Structures are given as C-alpha cells and as structure tokens.
Amino acid sequence: MLKIGTFFFKYRNQAFPLIIAALFISTPPTTTVLGSEALEAWKNSLALLVILIGLLLRATVIGYAYIKRGGLNKRVYANDLVTEGMFGVCRNPLYVGNMLVYSGLFLFHGSPMVVVVGCLLFAFIYQCIIYAEEEFLANKFGEGYSAYCRDVPRWGLKLSAFSSSTEGMAFNWKRVIAKDYSTMSSTLIAVLVTEFYRVAADSVADQDSSYAIVLAALLGIVVALTGLVSSLKKRGVFDKMTTAH
C-alpha cells in the first residue's frame, strides 16, 4: 500500500482523470432509477449536494490554512506540521473533500458499477496515499506527529475543535479562488459533460436538443471563466493573498 500510495501521490493528476473517464465511458449515465424519472431527479440532486459539500469543505480548508499537497519533486514532503485551521479538525480534510466530490460525481453518473467501483477504488487509493504521507510525517516530526494523530481523526471531522483551531485566523476567499479554481472548474465540467452524455444517450427529442445547447453554453462559460482566472493568476493578481502555509 505504501508503494501504491507513493505512485499515486506522484501521478494522481494524470491518473485520476483517466480513471474517471474510463469509468464514465464504460457505461452511459442512468436516465431513471428503478424506472422512475422522479427518483433519478432526487438521486441527481443528492449527488450535486454531496459535490457541493465537498467543494465547500475544500474551500474552508484552503481559506483558513492552505497546505501544499504537491510535495517536493512530486514526492511526499513537508517543511512544517500544520495543525491549525481545518487540520485541527481532520488530518486529511482536503482528501475528505475530494472523496465527497468524486463520490458525488459517481452518484451523478448513476451506474451502480461506476458508483461502487469508483468509490471503493478512490477510497483505497487515498488510503494508500495517506499511509505514504503518514510514514514520512512520523519519521520527520516524531512524537509531535504522534500526539497530533491521537488528538485528530484521520478521516472523520472533529467539528468540536473547529472554533479553537481557527481562532484568530481570517478566512481568505482570494486564496480559495487562486488555489482551487481548477478543482471547481474541472468538477463543473465533469458534471456538465456527464449530463450532456446522459441527454445524448437517451434521445434526440427537440426539448433534449435545446437542453443540450444550454449545457454546451454553460460549458463554454465555465471554460471562459477558468481561462480568465488562470490569466489573472499568471499576472500576479492573487500573489499577495496566496502565500502557502
């Protein structure tokens, strides 16, 4: 598991989109649940809610205490042991947010195979990555990290610690936009493309054609806004507000 975690820590930005694309292409998204369009609508609403919660959790983490997850030369590394902000609530809050986003995307697709395989596979991969990170942190920070592990859950959210962990800290929205716009964008694109796939696989009725045009327009808007934020970031607009912790 440590070897798997080290591999995916290094190549996750390339591997994760390929895994998701392969799962989604393997079978069309569902158009009904147990033959009911109403249940399908409820399922999709639940999926979008789970995705939103995941994105909000990521935003909360980054807004209070951003931690660079890329490591050093794509290997697990950390200069400091960050325990404030949401890291005083959960040891891996960004990964919890990611799992919520991915689980919501799989549920939005709806195929039982995609939901089960996707959720289990990503949970296993993230657990492996966490093991690799924990080994490094334990070796580098010793008893300080052990004490942190005893006090803060690996996957759960110790919400009772939120107030004390964020005391005296200011939430930074500009840092959230600068650091997480690509995650927000890719998530929205995945939702829109999945919905477009659902419409195309279901039928080509006039109303569906109009809906497809709306989806395409929304996709264009998301891509344009992503390009705008990327351009502003390259011009240094967010530099003063995005110092990594």
Both structure tokens of 196: 């477009």
pLDDT at 243: 47
Tens place of pLDDT per residue across the chain (245 aa):
999 998 998 899 899 999 999 999 999 999 889 889 899 999 999 999 999 999 999 999 999 977 665 555 556 767 788 889 999 999 999 999 999 999 999 999 999 999 999 999 999 999 999 999 999 999 999 999 999 999 999 999 999 999 999 999 999 998 899 899 999 999 999 999 999 988 887 654 445 778 888 999 999 999 999 999 999 888 887 775 544 44
Estimate to the nearest angstrom the gap between the alpha carbon of 67 and the chain centroid. Answer: 15
pLDDT tens-digit profile of 109-120? 999 999 999 999
The DSSP string of 115-165 is: HHHHHHHHHHHHHHHHHHHHHHHHHHHHHHHHHHHHHS-SSS--GGGHHHH
Both structure tokens of 175: 């840092």
